[in-house]
């Protein structure tokens, strides 16, 4: 799988440019006005009904993997038999199993956690039921302060208060986490909604008013990936939106200050649950250019776990 490089510019007042194009890896250059370069997505197979109908291979894959957003999985881990009581009986059994096999066997660790927490990570992930960060990345109790919202978005400072930036403030200024990790994923319904919505729409929609936070990722995707089909554009935007959120993090003075001092790092990630691969990268913050309304960013330490 080809790697990608990101280098983009943000004005102190607003985004000055953040354009994406597909290409191969090059040397990271945090230069004002440079382009975002991402790999071309080839042979991408999506599990949406329209694609399945057109492609026999996709139909076979969808039947086997049962990963479509609109399809009901063939096998449910938690089966509803006689009502909600049966479901909670199963949850009760899981809790008691956790207590016996984990809590009691590590009681000292949990007693220490009862006194205080000191996580190294803050994770911002999607609320999607298929992408639990602790399950995927193995975070143990006390290791990560996790916030989940629709499409794993970070609103910029000027957007106003939300539970996400409230959690950011607590994690950074009180818990003093060392890493902020924004984790995107494949087949994201929130990003698909963003890519599908009209410029003018229902202003009373909570979903619309939330995902519009990443409208610049949509604009960039439409401009640089116009030759791709809609599903591939969504995949492109899923990653582009993560990068936008990384930039939005720096709109908070208490985050920007710590990043510039090197005591806080900002990372992006992308979980492809169709192929079970994970991409991870780090925002390389170059700082403000002296005497210029320009700040330089790039991507470094990109890795693919497969």
Report pLDDT for 202: 78
- State yes or no: 128 annotated in a binding site: yes
Residues written for the chain: 306
10-residue mean pLDDT profile of the chain (306 residues): values are 43 36 34 33 36 38 38 54 81 96 96 97 98 97 98 96 97 98 98 91 88 96 95 97 97 96 97 97 77 68 96
Report pLDDT for 7: 43
Write down the domain spans for the chain: 115-186+242-305
CB 146 within 8 A of CB 269: no
Q: How far apart are CA 222 and CA 214, in angstroms?
A: 13
CATH architecture group of domain 115-186+242-305: 3-Layer(aba) Sandwich (3.40)
pTM of the entire predicted model:
0.74
- State yes or no: 276 annotated in a binding site: no
Per-residue tokens: 238: 């899923």
- State yes or no: 231 annotated in a binding site: no
Report pLDDT for 91: 95
Report pLDDT for 203: 81
Three-state SS string over 122-173 comes to EEEEECCCCCCHHHHHCCCCCCEEEEEEHHHCCCCHHHCCCHHHHHHHHHHH
Q: Which of 279, 229, 193, 183 is nearest to 43 (CA)?
A: 229
- State yes or no: 188 annotated in a binding site: yes
């Amino acid at each position: 799988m080809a790697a990608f490089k990101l280098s983009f510019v943000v004005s102190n007042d607003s985004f000055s440019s953040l354009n994406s194009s597909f290409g191969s890896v090059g040397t990271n250059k945090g230069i004002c006005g440079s382009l975002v370069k991402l790999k071309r997505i080839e042979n991408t197979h999506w599990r949406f009904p329209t694609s399945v109908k057109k492609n026999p291979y996709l139909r076979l894959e969808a039947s086997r993997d049962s990963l479509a957003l609109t399809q009901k999985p063939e096998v449910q881990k938690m089966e509803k038999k006689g009502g909600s009581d049966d479901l909670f009986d199963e949850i009760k059994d899981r809790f008691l199993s956790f207590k016996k096999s984990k809590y009691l066997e590590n009681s000292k660790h949990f007693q220490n956690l009862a006194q205080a927490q000191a996580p190294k990570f803050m994770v911002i992930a999607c609320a999607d039921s298929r992408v639990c960060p602790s399950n995927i990345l193995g975070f143990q109790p006390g290791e990560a302060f996790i916030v989940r919202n629709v499409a794993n978005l970070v609103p910029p400072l000027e957007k106003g208060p939300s539970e996400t930036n409230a959690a950011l403030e607590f994690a950074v200024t009180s818990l003093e986490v060392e890493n902020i990790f924004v984790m995107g994923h494949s087949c994201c319904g929130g990003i698909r909604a963003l890519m599908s919505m009209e410029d003018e729409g229902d202003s009373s929609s909570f979903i619309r008013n939330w995902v519009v936070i990443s409208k610049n990722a949509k604009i960039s995707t439409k401009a640089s990936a116009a030759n791709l089909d809609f599903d591939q554009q969504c995949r492109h935007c899923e990653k582009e939106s993560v990068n936008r959120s990384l930039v939005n993090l720096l709109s908070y003075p208490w985050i920007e200050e710590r990043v510039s001092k090197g005591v806080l790092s900002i990372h992006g990630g992308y979980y492809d649950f169709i192929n079970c691969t994970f991409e991870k990268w780090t925002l390389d913050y170059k700082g403000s250019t002296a005497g210029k309304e320009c700040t330089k960013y790039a991507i470094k330490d990109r890795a693919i776990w497969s």
